[in-house]
Amino acid sequence: MADAILHIEEADIYQRDNLVLSKVNLKIERGEFFYLIGKTGSGKSSLMKTLYGYLQLKRGKGKVVDFDLMQLKEKEIPFLRRKIGIVFQDFKLLNDRTVFDNLLFVLKATGWKDKEKMKAKIYEVLEKVDMKTKDYKKPFELSGGEQQRVAIARALLNDPDLILADEPTGNLDPKTSLEVMQLLNEIHQSGKSILMATHDYALIVKFKQKTIKCEGGELFEVVQQATV
C-alpha cells in the first residue's frame, strides 16, 4: 500500500444524488497505467471527477496522492490538483491567450512566482510534447491534436504524481489519436502513473495496459485476451 498513488476501497460514487458506482475498489501503484472503459453514463467521468475533488466521496475510503478524499476540504482541492495532471477531451484551453500564456496562467494560479523559472518550466513541458515552436499561437490557430498536446503539457507543469486523462482522444481522428497515445505512453515510461478513460478500443489493443471497466454500477478489472 505504501507505493499506491491511488487507493479506493468500498467507495460509492455519486453524481449529484444518484449512486452511479457502488463498492468500488481500485489501487494504482506508482508508475502503473490503467485504462478505464465503459459505456456513456456508466460512471467513468463521475469516478474521475471524484478522484480530482470535483465530486465529493460520500462513502468508503479513498486516498489520492496522499490526500484523503473523505476528509478533503474545499481549500485543499487546489493542492490536490497540483499533484494531479488532468487532461480533458475538450482541451479546456483559454482561446484568448497564447499557448505560452495558457501555461503561465496555470503556474501563477498554482503559486509560482519566479518569472525565469516559470519561463523555463513552460518551455521544458512544451519541448516534451513537441510544441515549443508554437508557443505564440492561440488555441484556435492549432489543430485538435496540437491543442491536446498543449493540454498534456499543461498537465505536466507541476510534475504530477498521477495523470487523469478523461477521453483524451475523444475529439481526434485515428491518426492524431495514435500520436497523442504515443505521447502519453512516453510519459508513462518516464515513470508517471496514468488513469485514462477511453472509448477507443483500437488504442487499448495496440497499447496494452491493465484495463478496468464500469458496467452495471460496478467497477472490475478486465483480463485482456492474448492476441495470436
- Residue owning grid cell 487546489: 78
Cα separations in angstroms, 167 against 18, 113, 121, 217:
22, 32, 26, 20
Q: What is the pLDDT of residues 179-195, one digit of tens each?
A: 889 989 999 998 899 99
Which residue range forms the structural domain that includes residue 47? 29-57+80-222
CATH code, 191? 3.40.50.300
Largest CA distance in the chain: 54
What stretches in the chain show pLDDT beneath 50? 1, 226-228
Tell me the C-alpha distance between 124 and 190, whole Å. 15
Per-residue confidence (pLDDT) for residue 20, from 0 to 100:
93
- Residue 134: inside a domain: yes
- Residue 72: inside a domain: no
- Residue 70: inside a domain: no
- Residue 21: inside a domain: no
SS3 85: strand
Give the chain's domain count: 1
- Residue 212: inside a domain: yes
- Residue 183: inside a domain: yes
Q: How many residues does the chain have?
A: 228
Per-residue confidence (pLDDT) for residue 110, from 0 to 100:
82
- Residue 227: inside a domain: no
Cell numbers that stand for 1 in this block: 500500500
Per-residue confidence (pLDDT) for residue 50, from 0 to 100:
94
- Residue 160: inside a domain: yes
Per-residue confidence (pLDDT) for residue 69, from 0 to 100:
94
